[in-house]
């Protein structure tokens, strides 16, 4: 019996020595992107990237348009595209693409595998592979505002009512692809956003959708990761119940992530959460053994050495407040120093300034961490990151829509915004390294003055009016956008981040089709800045279309040379 066995063994050795099979089987040289000792790896080589967001890509009717879009993205040396792999409707639309029907009736939930359904996504995946581009495919969205449906009982139509100014065709806005609230409206036992995370019927429906999409591309090397949701939170345009807390979303993330890994061992799973913390909160997935957080990252070079207290360890909240306090002190010192420098005779040697730590300066009564750190979004990015089946950390950066650390009042508003972004990036770099997983900034953007008329916040369907101060942004210049993007990219790359994905790409010369994301005529949408010209991809306020387009692409291209010199 051992002779035939030996023959088989020899045969196997011979086969594995042939060049055709060398890429098969060996995990370290897998054609699938995976995590290794130094971050991501593919085909045995470390992999880092600059990416862009193109949520509307599978709504394009023309294969040539998809091909052209990938070609221009590749020409900017961008190697990763993040897009929506969901498109839920509550009634079958007259035209346009849809992936899943979630409606009342006998065929309540139907997945569309036809030519205007998942076959569009098939084309995207296939063309991505031809261009050597990797995809982050997002499976649902936290945001799907439907003001009339959500607030007035009995209205069953999509809210395109004249007078609401929401006349944009379906799919133009990133929050108009269905998502969590589409499931909640249909299956929720109450109209609360967090039903999506706890209602077993909804969990099963979403798992079913995820299963069908994942199985379709289970062997495609072009999928970088399955992102289970964009920006999952307790709240949305449908408000949360009082029961939702960070553990609700952590537990749901683990359920879905484990499920996807159980059916697809080839691809990584990522959470897609926006990176909000719940410092000091109880964890479902604590670090074992607990390792102390690394010293807070240096946001900018400290003017002098810093002495740390060695007594009892600080709580995460105390640590963050201490860091903010030290940042403030450093900035004050720097200001004083530059004034002194100006007054000092040129030949005097510079004396080092020693930083001092005083506990009373830190624990000011009533000082608050704010919604990015105190768990009020219902997200604990650290707990989610430590779910074993979650491969890497995700966060987002939208200073026009989210509050992060308090802006430095000593800086002008633009530089303060840049600094807030730098702090956010540094903090996530420290977190990811503490948990030993790679880190991707999955979306970042700033609204320019040119884009202000097109800007629609992620929980709204129409642009904020002038009187609506809450949602109104003033916008930065194209030059400031490039400056901020350049500084954020540079800080991320210097800190060893594994990928940064700008929001959002713009493509022109596309073929227009009625009722889809690309306007086919001057009729109807001319008044809307969201579709400025026929043949141009959607703009929700972050599109790079316009006068600054080439420069933004250069900023991204040059970041790509830094993060992945051999792209
Ligand atoms: C769908 O059916 C449920 C009852 O099963 C009902 O409460 C809800 O109003 C219906 N929704 C629409 C949009 O018709
Ligand atoms: C719709 O837009 C018009 C013109 O911009 C404006 O006058 C009107 O107030 C808007 N209506 C609503 C309900 O926002
Ligand atoms: C949730 O969103 C609603 C608007 O739908 C808002 O009124 C409420 O303040 C939000 N709650 C939290 C905790 O953010
Ligand atoms: C949308 O978000 C803004 C802040 O980003 C908030 O002020 C507003 O209340 C929210 N509206 C809804 C309908 O959730
Ligand atoms: C976590 O989710 C599972 C599956 O949905 C559920 O059975 C369990 O009760 C949840 N646990 C917690 C602590 O929420
Ligand atoms: C913003 O910071 C840069 C240096 O990073 C400085 O050159 C510029 O003057 C600052 N802007 C303002 C308005 O202070
Ligand atoms: C626009 O697209 C068409 C068809 O794909 C192509 O022939 C033409 O050269 C393109 N024009 C520009 C300016 O890119
Ligand atoms: C496509 O659908 C829209 C409504 O979503 C409608 O206005 C338009 O006439 C339709 N176009 C065609 C060619 O059916
Ligand atoms: C893209 O990379 C190639 C090769 O590294 C380089 O020659 C080219 O200038 C880059 N293009 C951009 C737009 O950065």
pLDDT band for position 94 (50/70/90)? confident
Write the DSSP string, 134-192: EEEEE--BS----HHHHHSTT--S-S--TTTT--PPTTSSTT-S--HHHHHHHH-SSS-
The confidence score (pLDDT) of residue 295 equals 55
Q: What is the pLDDT of residues 457-478, one digit of tens each?
A: 998 887 777 666 666 788 999 9
- Pick from 109-123, 194-208, 460-474, 536-550: least confident: 460-474
The confidence score (pLDDT) of residue 25 equals 40
Q: To test the ligand 1 pocket, which listed residue (104, 150, 238) has its Cβ within 8 A of the most ligand atoms?
A: 104
- pLDDT tops 80 at residue 321: yes
Nearest to 378 by CA among 277, 261, 453: 277
Nearest to 53 by CA among 396, 393, 372, 377: 396
The confidence score (pLDDT) of residue 82 equals 98
The confidence score (pLDDT) of residue 333 equals 78
Q: What is the pLDDT of residues 508-558, one digit of tens each?
A: 999 988 778 887 665 444 445 666 567 899 999 999 988 889 999 999 999
DSSP-derived secondary structure letter, 279: T
- pLDDT tops 50 at residue 407: yes
Q: Is the pTM above the cut of 0.95?
A: no
Can you tell me which residue has the tokens 């099963």? Answer: 204
Tell me if 527 CB under 6 Å of ligand 8.
no
- pLDDT tops 60 at residue 178: yes
The confidence score (pLDDT) of residue 28 equals 58
Residue with CA closest to ligand 6 atom 8: 415
Pick the residue with more confidence: 105 or 488?
A: 488
Residue with CA closest to ligand 7 atom 12: 509
CA distance 459 to 490: 30
Can you tell me which residue has the tokens 């020693």? Answer: 354
- Residue 200: CA count within 13 A, CB half-sphere: 0
Residue with CA closest to ligand 4 atom 10: 459
Start-to-end CA span in the chain (Å): 52
Tell me if 76 CB under 6 Å of ligand 9.
yes
Sheet of 100-102: strands edge to edge?
Answer: 88-89, 100-102, 109-111
Write out the two tokens for 478: 């194209």
Pocket of ligand 3 (CB under 6 A): 235, 237, 239, 376
How far, in Å, is the centroid of ligand 1 from the Cα of 105?
A: 9
Mean pLDDT of 60-72: 96
Judged by its nearest atom, the ligand closest to the C-alpha of residue 483 is 6
The confidence score (pLDDT) of residue 484 equals 98
Residue 430 backbone zone (phi > 0: left; psi -120 to 50: alpha; other: beta): alpha
Task: With beta carbons less than 8 A apart as the criterion, state whether 418 and 484 touch.
Answer: yes
Nearest to 244 by CA among 235, 232, 253: 235
The confidence score (pLDDT) of residue 521 equals 60
How far, in Å, is the centroid of ligand 2 from the Cα of 166?
A: 10
How far, in Å, is the centroid of ligand 7 from the Cα of 509?
A: 6
Judged by its nearest atom, the ligand closest to the C-alpha of residue 193 is 3
The confidence score (pLDDT) of residue 206 equals 98
Tell me if 45 CB under 6 Å of ligand 1.
no
Tell me if 208 CB under 6 Å of ligand 7.
no
Q: To test the ligand 7 pocket, which listed residue (66, 68, 69, 509) has its Cβ within 8 A of the most ligand atoms?
A: 509
Q: What is the pLDDT of residues 326-361, one digit of tens each?
A: 888 877 777 776 655 444 433 333 332 232 222 222
**Which ligand 2 atom sits nearest the alpha carbon of residue 164?**
13
Q: To test the ligand 4 pocket, which listed residue (371, 470, 473, 541) has its Cβ within 8 A of the most ligand atoms?
A: 470
Q: What is the pLDDT of residues 263-319, one digit of tens each?
A: 999 999 999 999 999 998 999 999 876 666 655 554 443 333 344 444 567 788 888
pLDDT band for position 98 (50/70/90)? very high
The confidence score (pLDDT) of residue 265 equals 97
């Amino acid at each position: 019996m051992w002779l035939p066995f030996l023959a088989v063994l020899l045969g196997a050795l011979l086969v594995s020595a042939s060049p055709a099979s060398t890429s098969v089987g060996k995990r370290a040289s897998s054609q699938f992107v995976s995590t290794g000792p130094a971050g991501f790896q593919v085909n045995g080589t470390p992999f880092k990237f600059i990416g862009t967001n193109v949520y509307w890509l599978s709504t394009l009717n023309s294969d040539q348009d998809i091909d052209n879009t990938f070609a221009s993205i590749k020409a900017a040396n961008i190697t990763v595209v993040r897009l929506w792999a969901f498109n839920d409707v509550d009634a079958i639309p007259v035209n346009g693409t849809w992936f899943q029907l979630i409606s009342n009736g006998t065929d309540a939930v139907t997945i569309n595998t036809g030519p205007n359904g998942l076959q569009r996504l098939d084309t995207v995946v296939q063309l991505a592979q031809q261009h050597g581009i990797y995809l982050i495919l997002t499976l649902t969205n936290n945001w799907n505002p439907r003001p009339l449906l959500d607030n007035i009982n009995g209205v069953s139509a999509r809210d395109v009512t004249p007078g609401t100014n929401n006349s944009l065709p379906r799919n133009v806005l990133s929050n108009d692809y269905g998502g969590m609230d589409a499931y909640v409206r249909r299956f929720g036992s109450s109209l609360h956003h967090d039903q999506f995370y706890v209602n077993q019927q909804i969990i099963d429906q979403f798992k079913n959708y995820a299963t069908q999409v994942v199985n379709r591309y289970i062997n495609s090397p072009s999928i970088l990761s399955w992102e289970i949701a964009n920006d999952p939170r307790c709240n949305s345009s449908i408000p949360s119940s009082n029961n939702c807390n960070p553990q609700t979303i952590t537990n749901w993330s683990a359920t879905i992530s484990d499920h996807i890994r159980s059916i697809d061992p080839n691809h990584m799973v990522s959470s897609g959460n926006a990176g909000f913390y719940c410092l000091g909160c109880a964890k479902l997935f604590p670090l074992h053994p607990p390792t102390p957080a690394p010293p807070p990252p240096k946001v900018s070079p400290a003017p002098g050495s810093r002495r740390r207290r060695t007594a009892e360890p600080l709580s995460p909240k105390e640590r963050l407040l201490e860091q903010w306090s030290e940042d403030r002190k450093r900035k004050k010192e720097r200001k004083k120093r530059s004034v002194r420098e100006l007054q000092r005779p040129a030949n005097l040697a510079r004396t080092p300034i020693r930083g001092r730590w005083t506990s009373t300066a830190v624990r000011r009564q009533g000082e608050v961490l704010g919604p990015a750190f105190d768990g009020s979004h219902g997200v604990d990015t650290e707990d989610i990151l430590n779910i074993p089946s979650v491969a890497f950390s995700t966060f987002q950066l939208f200073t026009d829509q989210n509050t992060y650390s308090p802006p430095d009042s000593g800086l002008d508003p633009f530089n303060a915004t840049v600094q807030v972004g730098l702090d956010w990036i540094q903090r996530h770099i420290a977190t990811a390294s503490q948990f030993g997983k790679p880190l991707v900034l999955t979306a970042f953007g700033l609204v320019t003055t040119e884009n202000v008329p097109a800007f629609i916040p992620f929980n709204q369907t129409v642009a904020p009016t002038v009187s609506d101060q809450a949602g109104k942004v003033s916008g930065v210049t194209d030059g400031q956008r490039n400056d901020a993007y350049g500084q954020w990219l540079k800080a991320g790359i210097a800190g060893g981040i594994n990928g940064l994905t700008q929001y959002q790409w713009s493509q022109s010369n596309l073929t227009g089709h009625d009722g889809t994301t690309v306007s086919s005529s001057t009729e109807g949408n001319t008044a809307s800045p969201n579709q400025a010209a026929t043949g141009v991809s959607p703009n929700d306020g972050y599109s790079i279309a316009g006068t600054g387009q080439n420069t933004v692409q250069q900023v991204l291209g040059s970041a790509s040379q830094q993060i992945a010199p051999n792209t």
